[in-house]
Amino acid sequence: MRTYEVIVSRGRFNVRDSDNPDGFPVIMQHGWPESSYSWEPVCPFLSTKLRIIAPDLRGLGDSERTLKPELYQKSELAKDIIEIVDGLSIKEFFLVGHDWGGNVAQEIAFAIPSRVKRLVLMNFPILSNSEGNMEAMKVMQSKGSVALMYQYFQQQQGLPEAMIRGNEEVWIRWCFGKAGREGLMPEEAIREYVRCYKIENTPATGAYYYRNLKLDRKRWLELSGRKLHMPTLYIYGNQDKVIIPEYLNHIEDCFDQIDVKQIDAGHFVHEEEPEVVGRLLNEFLLRA
């Protein structure tokens, strides 16, 4: 995919684009600690009937490192993406999100539902599913919340900034867990995420995603019980240690149309099993 810079009133953002002007736009949102590069392994398996547009979220990839923590609330990040889409003169589109990008994608879908024709989410809680999310958190707490250590670490003011700088490769490899240790993540992807984490202020801007959790969760409570009406696919890597199966409890109550596909993968499902994810995306997005 080619890359270019989009400058809008909310800032400067890097975008990857499959540069297929005849394809229907698919806006793809990555998670943490990744960038839009995370969609590169999937793209060879996607139909040429689709135009893939993948922005780097604020504070990650090659987008700007804004040192204003409040702009990393996920409802604010959604406003970034809506401005980018408007700047590219795109009216209607499919929307895909993984990890924090799945949060941003849901916020976009709630904000401009008539423009989102189909929605795909991967390994992130459903914002309006307060019952299922509470059940999942109780399970995590019963196990000591060990899997959430990286979140607690990043919420400590100044600590990630002090400890990650100079240790970016150690940090990135640790963050990808088993996938990083056992080579399930392509080595070129690891190198790319290390490069991006070495950009000045990234330990802080990456941490802002977690330092806003209190405000994000307050927002999720506001969304509790609200439904999304566009056709939706949830792709779940069922070996995830953080987004555990209990998060899928009651998921059908949050959508008019929801299809759940579980595959044998960990959290970084689209990078661990790009061919499988690509096939599922084609089947769902191009469904008549």
Which range (175-184, 206-215, 232-241, 244-253) has the least confidence? 175-184
Strand partners, 121: 97, 234
**Residue 234 forms beta bridges with which residues?**
121, 260
236-246 residue pLDDT tens: 999 999 999 99
Question: Once rounded to an integer, what is the mean pLDDT over residues 186-196?
Answer: 95
The CA distance from 283 to 260, in Å, is: 13
231 preceded by a cis bond (ω within 30 of 0): no
pLDDT at residue 231, rounded to an integer: 98
* Predicted local distance difference test score (pLDDT) of residue 181: 78
pLDDT digits (tens, 9 = 90+) for 16-69: 999 898 999 999 999 999 999 999 999 999 999 999 999 999 999 999 999 999
pLDDT range class, residue 185, cuts 50, 70, 90: confident
Q: What is the mean pLDDT of residues 222-229?
A: 96
Average pLDDT taken over every residue of the chain: 96
Give the integer Cα–Cα distance in Å for 36 and 62: 9
- Phi and psi at residue 58, to the nearest 5°: -50, 130
Alpha-carbon gap, residue 272 to 252, rounded angstroms: 26
Q: Phi, psi at residue 98, to the nearest 5°? A: -120, 140
What's the CATH number for 2-285? 3.40.50.1820
Say what the alpha-carbon torsion angle 199, 200, 203, 205 is, to the nearest 10 degrees.
-100
Cα 83 from chain centroid (whole Å): 18
pLDDT given at position 229: 98
Q: What is the DSSP string of 104-148?
A: HHHHHHHHSGGGEEEEEEESS--TT-HHHHHHHHHHHHHTTTGGG
pLDDT, tens digit, 9 for 90 and up, residues 123-162:
999 999 999 999 999 999 999 999 999 999 999 999 999 9
Continuous segment of H or E residues that includes residue 275: helix 274-285
By DSSP bridging, strand 232-237 and strand 258-263 are parallel
pLDDT in tens, 111-123: 999 999 999 999 9
Give the Cα separation of 283 and 276 in Å (integer).
11
Residue 30's pLDDT is what? 98
pLDDT-based confidence at 180, cuts 50/70/90? Answer: confident
Q: How far apart are CA 98 and CA 46, in angstroms?
A: 17
> Residue 57 gets which letter from DSSP?
P
pLDDT at residue 284 in the model: 98
